[in-house]
Amino acid sequence: MEFKTDNSPFTGSTSNIGSVMRQVLYALIPGVLVMFYFYGWGVLINIVLAIIIAVSFEVLSLWLRKRPIKPFLADYSAIVTACLFALSIPPLAPWWILMVGLFFAIVIAKHLYGGLGYNPFNPAMVGFAVLIVSFPLEMTQWIRPEFSNGLMPSLTDSLRIVFNGFESLYSLNQWDAVTMATPLDDMKTELKSGHYFSEVIRTNGYGFVSGKAWELVSLAYLGGGLWLLYKGIINWRIPVSLLLTLAIVAIIVGWLEPDTKQSSLFHLFSGATMLGAFFIATDPVSASTTPRGQLFYGASIGFFIYVIRTWGNYPDAVAFSVLIMNMSVPMIDYFTQPRVFGAKSGGK
Protein backbone atom coordinates (compact mmCIF):
# COMPACT_ATOMS: atom_id res chain seq x y z
CA MET A 1 0.00 0.00 0.00
CA GLU A 2 1.42 3.33 -0.96
CA PHE A 3 0.23 6.82 -0.24
CA LYS A 4 1.72 9.18 -2.69
CA THR A 5 2.42 12.48 -1.03
CA ASP A 6 3.95 15.29 -3.03
CA ASN A 7 5.50 18.30 -1.42
CA SER A 8 4.66 21.80 -2.45
CA PRO A 9 5.31 23.54 -4.83
CA PHE A 10 3.15 21.54 -7.16
CA THR A 11 4.49 23.07 -10.33
CA GLY A 12 6.00 20.69 -12.80
CA SER A 13 9.71 20.17 -12.70
CA THR A 14 11.93 18.41 -15.16
CA SER A 15 14.49 17.30 -12.64
CA ASN A 16 14.46 13.71 -11.50
CA ILE A 17 16.92 11.46 -9.72
CA GLY A 18 18.59 10.51 -12.98
CA SER A 19 19.32 14.08 -14.05
CA VAL A 20 20.57 15.04 -10.57
CA MET A 21 22.89 12.05 -10.50
CA ARG A 22 24.14 12.88 -14.00
CA GLN A 23 25.03 16.41 -12.84
CA VAL A 24 26.98 14.90 -9.96
CA LEU A 25 28.87 12.74 -12.43
CA TYR A 26 29.68 15.77 -14.61
CA ALA A 27 30.92 17.63 -11.55
CA LEU A 28 33.32 14.79 -10.81
CA ILE A 29 34.99 15.07 -14.22
CA PRO A 30 37.64 17.72 -13.33
CA GLY A 31 38.67 15.73 -10.27
CA VAL A 32 38.91 12.54 -12.30
CA LEU A 33 41.05 14.27 -14.95
CA VAL A 34 43.49 15.66 -12.40
CA MET A 35 43.71 12.31 -10.67
CA PHE A 36 44.30 10.64 -14.03
CA TYR A 37 47.12 13.09 -14.71
CA PHE A 38 48.85 12.25 -11.44
CA TYR A 39 47.99 8.62 -10.88
CA GLY A 40 47.71 7.25 -14.39
CA TRP A 41 45.55 4.51 -15.77
CA GLY A 42 44.74 3.00 -12.39
CA VAL A 43 42.15 5.73 -11.79
CA LEU A 44 40.25 5.04 -14.99
CA ILE A 45 40.49 1.27 -14.57
CA ASN A 46 39.06 1.67 -11.07
CA ILE A 47 36.16 3.73 -12.33
CA VAL A 48 35.27 1.49 -15.29
CA LEU A 49 35.62 -1.67 -13.25
CA ALA A 50 33.64 -0.21 -10.36
CA ILE A 51 30.80 0.85 -12.66
CA ILE A 52 30.62 -2.61 -14.24
CA ILE A 53 30.67 -4.36 -10.88
CA ALA A 54 28.25 -1.94 -9.22
CA VAL A 55 25.72 -2.19 -12.04
CA SER A 56 25.95 -5.99 -11.98
CA PHE A 57 25.32 -6.04 -8.24
CA GLU A 58 22.47 -3.57 -8.68
CA VAL A 59 20.83 -5.75 -11.34
CA LEU A 60 21.35 -8.84 -9.22
CA SER A 61 19.82 -7.25 -6.12
CA LEU A 62 16.88 -5.80 -8.04
CA TRP A 63 16.25 -9.19 -9.62
CA LEU A 64 16.41 -10.92 -6.23
CA ARG A 65 14.05 -8.33 -4.79
CA LYS A 66 11.74 -8.77 -7.79
CA ARG A 67 11.87 -5.07 -8.65
CA PRO A 68 11.76 -3.63 -12.16
CA ILE A 69 15.33 -3.32 -13.32
CA LYS A 70 15.28 -0.66 -16.00
CA PRO A 71 13.77 2.33 -14.11
CA PHE A 72 16.05 1.72 -11.13
CA LEU A 73 19.14 1.50 -13.32
CA ALA A 74 18.15 4.69 -15.10
CA ASP A 75 18.50 6.71 -11.88
CA TYR A 76 22.30 6.42 -12.15
CA SER A 77 22.63 6.07 -8.40
CA ALA A 78 24.66 2.87 -8.66
CA ILE A 79 27.03 4.58 -11.06
CA VAL A 80 27.49 7.57 -8.75
CA THR A 81 28.17 5.23 -5.85
CA ALA A 82 30.65 3.32 -8.00
CA CYS A 83 32.47 6.50 -9.05
CA LEU A 84 32.72 7.91 -5.52
CA PHE A 85 33.92 4.55 -4.29
CA ALA A 86 36.44 4.16 -7.11
CA LEU A 87 37.86 7.63 -6.46
CA SER A 88 38.36 6.94 -2.78
CA ILE A 89 40.34 3.71 -3.09
CA PRO A 90 43.95 3.62 -4.28
CA PRO A 91 44.54 3.39 -8.03
CA LEU A 92 45.82 -0.05 -9.09
CA ALA A 93 44.05 -1.71 -6.18
CA PRO A 94 43.46 -5.41 -6.92
CA TRP A 95 40.14 -6.23 -8.59
CA TRP A 96 38.78 -8.22 -5.64
CA ILE A 97 39.07 -5.11 -3.45
CA LEU A 98 36.48 -3.49 -5.72
CA MET A 99 34.32 -6.61 -5.68
CA VAL A 100 34.24 -6.82 -1.87
CA GLY A 101 33.77 -3.09 -1.36
CA LEU A 102 30.99 -2.75 -3.89
CA PHE A 103 29.25 -5.87 -2.61
CA PHE A 104 29.02 -4.20 0.79
CA ALA A 105 28.12 -0.85 -0.77
CA ILE A 106 25.39 -1.95 -3.17
CA VAL A 107 24.02 -5.18 -1.77
CA ILE A 108 24.34 -4.71 1.97
CA ALA A 109 24.34 -0.95 2.59
CA LYS A 110 21.77 -0.14 -0.09
CA HIS A 111 19.51 -3.01 -1.08
CA LEU A 112 19.30 -4.88 2.21
CA TYR A 113 18.00 -1.65 3.73
CA GLY A 114 15.38 -1.26 1.01
CA GLY A 115 17.13 0.35 -1.94
CA LEU A 116 17.74 3.95 -2.92
CA GLY A 117 16.01 6.35 -0.57
CA TYR A 118 15.93 3.95 2.37
CA ASN A 119 19.62 3.49 3.05
CA PRO A 120 20.62 5.10 6.36
CA PHE A 121 24.31 4.94 5.45
CA ASN A 122 26.18 6.31 2.49
CA PRO A 123 26.78 3.16 0.39
CA ALA A 124 30.15 4.18 -1.03
CA MET A 125 31.48 5.00 2.42
CA VAL A 126 30.24 1.72 3.88
CA GLY A 127 32.18 -0.11 1.18
CA PHE A 128 35.24 2.01 1.88
CA ALA A 129 35.04 1.53 5.65
CA VAL A 130 34.71 -2.25 5.30
CA LEU A 131 37.81 -2.31 3.14
CA ILE A 132 40.01 -0.02 5.22
CA VAL A 133 39.18 -2.06 8.33
CA SER A 134 39.70 -5.42 6.64
CA PHE A 135 42.54 -4.81 4.20
CA PRO A 136 44.60 -1.90 5.53
CA LEU A 137 47.64 -2.89 3.47
CA GLU A 138 45.97 -2.91 0.06
CA MET A 139 44.01 0.21 0.90
CA THR A 140 46.99 2.41 1.73
CA GLN A 141 49.23 1.65 -1.24
CA TRP A 142 48.87 4.77 -3.34
CA ILE A 143 51.29 5.00 -6.22
CA ARG A 144 53.75 7.86 -6.35
CA PRO A 145 52.03 10.80 -8.04
CA GLU A 146 54.87 11.70 -10.36
CA PHE A 147 54.28 11.28 -14.01
CA SER A 148 57.79 11.83 -15.22
CA ASN A 149 59.92 9.40 -13.27
CA GLY A 150 59.27 6.48 -15.61
CA LEU A 151 57.81 4.35 -12.89
CA MET A 152 54.23 5.03 -13.91
CA PRO A 153 52.83 1.77 -15.30
CA SER A 154 51.36 1.76 -18.81
CA LEU A 155 47.77 0.75 -19.53
CA THR A 156 48.55 -2.92 -20.13
CA ASP A 157 50.83 -3.04 -17.11
CA SER A 158 48.13 -1.39 -15.01
CA LEU A 159 45.60 -3.98 -16.12
CA ARG A 160 48.03 -6.75 -15.23
CA ILE A 161 48.61 -5.24 -11.80
CA VAL A 162 44.89 -4.94 -11.15
CA PHE A 163 44.03 -8.47 -12.23
CA ASN A 164 47.16 -10.50 -11.43
CA GLY A 165 48.50 -8.52 -8.49
CA PHE A 166 51.63 -6.39 -8.49
CA GLU A 167 53.73 -9.52 -7.87
CA SER A 168 53.42 -10.39 -11.57
CA LEU A 169 55.38 -7.28 -12.58
CA TYR A 170 57.40 -6.02 -9.64
CA SER A 171 59.36 -7.45 -6.80
CA LEU A 172 58.27 -6.27 -3.38
CA ASN A 173 61.10 -3.73 -3.23
CA GLN A 174 60.30 -2.29 -6.63
CA TRP A 175 56.63 -2.03 -5.69
CA ASP A 176 57.63 -0.17 -2.56
CA ALA A 177 59.40 2.31 -4.81
CA VAL A 178 56.30 2.74 -6.97
CA THR A 179 53.94 3.22 -4.04
CA MET A 180 54.15 5.62 -1.15
CA ALA A 181 52.20 6.77 1.85
CA THR A 182 49.77 9.58 1.10
CA PRO A 183 50.84 13.02 2.39
CA LEU A 184 48.16 12.78 5.05
CA ASP A 185 49.54 9.48 6.30
CA ASP A 186 53.16 10.55 5.98
CA MET A 187 52.58 13.83 7.82
CA LYS A 188 50.91 12.00 10.67
CA THR A 189 53.87 9.66 11.11
CA GLU A 190 56.34 12.54 10.91
CA LEU A 191 54.44 14.59 13.49
CA LYS A 192 54.16 11.60 15.79
CA SER A 193 57.89 11.10 15.65
CA GLY A 194 58.42 14.62 16.92
CA HIS A 195 59.03 16.65 13.79
CA TYR A 196 57.51 20.10 13.39
CA PHE A 197 54.82 20.75 10.81
CA SER A 198 56.57 23.74 9.23
CA GLU A 199 59.69 21.62 8.90
CA VAL A 200 58.02 18.64 7.24
CA ILE A 201 55.91 20.68 4.85
CA ARG A 202 59.05 22.17 3.30
CA THR A 203 60.45 18.75 2.41
CA ASN A 204 60.25 17.42 -1.09
CA GLY A 205 56.90 16.20 -2.31
CA TYR A 206 54.66 18.41 -0.22
CA GLY A 207 54.16 21.10 -2.84
CA PHE A 208 52.54 24.31 -1.64
CA VAL A 209 49.98 23.18 0.85
CA SER A 210 49.38 19.48 1.18
CA GLY A 211 51.29 17.38 -1.30
CA LYS A 212 51.86 17.96 -4.99
CA ALA A 213 49.01 15.87 -6.29
CA TRP A 214 46.50 16.21 -3.53
CA GLU A 215 46.21 19.99 -3.48
CA LEU A 216 45.34 20.04 -7.19
CA VAL A 217 42.97 17.07 -6.93
CA SER A 218 41.23 18.82 -4.04
CA LEU A 219 41.02 22.05 -6.01
CA ALA A 220 39.41 20.18 -8.89
CA TYR A 221 36.83 18.65 -6.54
CA LEU A 222 36.25 22.08 -5.03
CA GLY A 223 35.56 23.41 -8.54
CA GLY A 224 33.14 20.56 -9.27
CA GLY A 225 31.46 21.13 -5.94
CA LEU A 226 31.02 24.84 -6.58
CA TRP A 227 29.43 24.00 -9.92
CA LEU A 228 26.99 21.70 -8.13
CA LEU A 229 26.20 24.54 -5.71
CA TYR A 230 25.67 26.92 -8.63
CA LYS A 231 23.36 24.42 -10.29
CA GLY A 232 21.40 24.07 -7.07
CA ILE A 233 21.97 20.32 -6.90
CA ILE A 234 23.40 20.52 -3.41
CA ASN A 235 22.79 22.92 -0.57
CA TRP A 236 25.55 25.19 0.75
CA ARG A 237 24.93 24.33 4.39
CA ILE A 238 26.65 20.95 4.65
CA PRO A 239 29.87 21.70 2.72
CA VAL A 240 30.33 25.16 4.20
CA SER A 241 29.73 24.12 7.79
CA LEU A 242 31.93 21.05 7.31
CA LEU A 243 34.89 22.94 5.86
CA LEU A 244 34.56 25.87 8.27
CA THR A 245 34.44 23.63 11.33
CA LEU A 246 37.41 21.59 10.16
CA ALA A 247 39.40 24.79 9.55
CA ILE A 248 38.40 26.43 12.84
CA VAL A 249 39.14 23.35 14.95
CA ALA A 250 42.52 23.05 13.24
CA ILE A 251 43.25 26.73 13.93
CA ILE A 252 42.27 26.44 17.59
CA VAL A 253 44.35 23.32 18.19
CA GLY A 254 47.18 24.82 16.17
CA TRP A 255 47.03 27.89 18.43
CA LEU A 256 47.10 25.75 21.57
CA GLU A 257 49.95 23.56 20.37
CA PRO A 258 51.82 25.61 17.79
CA ASP A 259 53.48 23.76 14.93
CA THR A 260 52.85 20.26 16.25
CA LYS A 261 49.63 19.71 14.33
CA GLN A 262 48.65 19.99 10.67
CA SER A 263 47.54 23.44 9.58
CA SER A 264 43.95 24.02 8.60
CA LEU A 265 44.90 24.55 4.95
CA PHE A 266 46.63 21.19 5.01
CA HIS A 267 43.47 19.59 6.39
CA LEU A 268 41.24 21.28 3.83
CA PHE A 269 43.30 20.30 0.82
CA SER A 270 44.43 16.81 1.67
CA GLY A 271 42.85 13.42 1.63
CA ALA A 272 39.19 13.26 0.82
CA THR A 273 38.10 16.49 2.52
CA MET A 274 36.82 18.23 -0.61
CA LEU A 275 35.39 15.08 -2.15
CA GLY A 276 33.70 14.36 1.16
CA ALA A 277 32.39 17.87 1.74
CA PHE A 278 30.78 18.34 -1.67
CA PHE A 279 30.02 14.86 -2.97
CA ILE A 280 29.76 12.44 -0.06
CA ALA A 281 28.37 14.30 2.95
CA THR A 282 25.73 15.93 0.74
CA ASP A 283 24.17 12.60 -0.27
CA PRO A 284 20.47 13.56 -0.10
CA VAL A 285 19.38 10.18 1.25
CA SER A 286 21.69 9.73 4.20
CA ALA A 287 22.28 13.38 5.15
CA SER A 288 20.17 15.48 7.47
CA THR A 289 17.22 17.19 5.78
CA THR A 290 16.35 20.15 8.01
CA PRO A 291 18.23 23.45 7.54
CA ARG A 292 19.56 23.67 11.10
CA GLY A 293 20.16 19.95 11.09
CA GLN A 294 22.29 20.23 7.98
CA LEU A 295 24.47 22.86 9.62
CA PHE A 296 24.94 20.66 12.67
CA TYR A 297 25.48 17.56 10.52
CA GLY A 298 28.17 19.20 8.40
CA ALA A 299 29.88 20.78 11.39
CA SER A 300 29.98 17.47 13.25
CA ILE A 301 31.50 15.70 10.27
CA GLY A 302 34.18 18.40 10.08
CA PHE A 303 34.86 18.04 13.78
CA PHE A 304 35.10 14.25 13.62
CA ILE A 305 37.37 14.42 10.57
CA TYR A 306 39.81 16.47 12.62
CA VAL A 307 39.52 14.27 15.70
CA ILE A 308 39.93 10.95 13.88
CA ARG A 309 42.72 12.24 11.65
CA THR A 310 44.65 13.63 14.59
CA TRP A 311 44.11 11.06 17.32
CA GLY A 312 42.79 8.03 15.43
CA ASN A 313 44.61 5.11 13.91
CA TYR A 314 43.51 5.51 10.32
CA PRO A 315 45.07 7.99 7.92
CA ASP A 316 41.87 9.56 6.64
CA ALA A 317 38.62 10.02 8.46
CA VAL A 318 35.96 11.15 6.01
CA ALA A 319 34.34 7.73 5.71
CA PHE A 320 34.11 7.13 9.45
CA SER A 321 32.93 10.65 10.21
CA VAL A 322 30.21 10.46 7.57
CA LEU A 323 29.07 7.06 8.85
CA ILE A 324 28.96 8.26 12.46
CA MET A 325 26.85 11.24 11.50
CA ASN A 326 24.64 9.12 9.19
CA MET A 327 23.78 7.17 12.34
CA SER A 328 22.81 10.35 14.15
CA VAL A 329 20.68 11.81 11.36
CA PRO A 330 17.29 10.57 12.62
CA MET A 331 17.95 12.21 15.99
CA ILE A 332 19.28 15.43 14.44
CA ASP A 333 16.23 15.66 12.22
CA TYR A 334 13.95 15.03 15.17
CA PHE A 335 15.39 17.86 17.24
CA THR A 336 15.76 20.40 14.44
CA GLN A 337 12.36 20.27 12.81
CA PRO A 338 11.66 23.69 11.36
CA ARG A 339 8.85 25.72 12.83
CA VAL A 340 5.62 25.07 11.00
CA PHE A 341 4.48 28.25 9.26
CA GLY A 342 2.03 30.07 11.48
CA ALA A 343 2.96 28.19 14.64
CA LYS A 344 4.61 30.06 17.50
CA SER A 345 8.17 29.24 18.38
CA GLY A 346 8.61 26.63 21.07
CA GLY A 347 6.07 24.41 19.39
CA LYS A 348 3.09 25.74 21.33
Q: Would you say 138 or 185 has its CB closer to other proteins?
A: 138
Q: Are 267 and 247 in contact (CB under 8 A)?
A: yes
- Among 308, 311, 307, 282, CA closest to 297: 282
By CB under 8 A, the count of residues binding other proteins is 6
Report CA-CA distances (Å) from 139 to 92, 95, 315, 316. Answer: 10, 12, 11, 11
> Residue 32 interacts with other proteins (CB under 8 A)?
no
Taking the complex as a whole, the smallest distance from the CB of residue 112 to other proteins amounts, in Å, to 8
Alpha helices for the chain (secondary structure H): 17-39, 41-64, 69-73, 77-88, 95-102, 123-134, 136-139, 155-164, 172-178, 183-192, 197-201, 212-231, 237-256, 264-268, 273-275, 291-311, 318-335
Taking the complex as a whole, the smallest distance from the CB of residue 131 to other proteins amounts, in Å, to 9
Please tell me the number of Cα atoms within 13 Å of 288 on its side-chain side.
32
> Residue 64 interacts with other proteins (CB under 8 A)?
no
Q: Would you say 167 or 176 has its CB closer to other proteins?
A: 167
> Residue 134 interacts with other proteins (CB under 8 A)?
yes
Taking the complex as a whole, the smallest distance from the CB of residue 26 to other proteins amounts, in Å, to 34
- Residue 151: CB atoms within 10 Å: 15
Binds other proteins by CB under 8 A, chosen from 35, 84, 86, 108: 108
Q: Would you say 228 or 308 has its CB closer to other proteins?
A: 308
Q: Would you say 74 or 133 has its CB closer to other proteins?
A: 133
Binds other proteins by CB under 8 A, chosen from 44, 55, 99, 100: 100
Q: Would you say 28 or 130 has its CB closer to other proteins?
A: 130
Taking the complex as a whole, the smallest distance from the CB of residue 233 to other proteins amounts, in Å, to 32
Q: Would you say 135 or 314 has its CB closer to other proteins?
A: 135
> Residue 337 interacts with other proteins (CB under 8 A)?
no
Q: Would you say 100 or 307 has its CB closer to other proteins?
A: 100
> Residue 329 interacts with other proteins (CB under 8 A)?
no
> Residue 130 interacts with other proteins (CB under 8 A)?
yes
What residues from 267 to 306 belong to the interface with other proteins (CB under 8 A)? none
Single-letter amino acid, residue 234: I
Alpha helices for 193-272 (secondary structure H): 197-201, 212-231, 237-256, 264-268
> Residue 135 interacts with other proteins (CB under 8 A)?
yes
Q: Which of 154-174 are b and which e, b meaning 16 or more Cβ less than 10 Å from the residue's Cβ? A: eeebbbebbeeebeeebeeee
Taking the complex as a whole, the smallest distance from the CB of residue 208 to other proteins amounts, in Å, to 37
Cα 267 from Cα 87, distance rounded (Å): 18
Q: Are 135 and 97 in contact (CB under 8 A)?
A: yes
- Residue 144: CB atoms within 10 Å: 17
Please give the residue ranges that form the binding site for other proteins (CB under 8 A).
100, 108, 130, 133-135
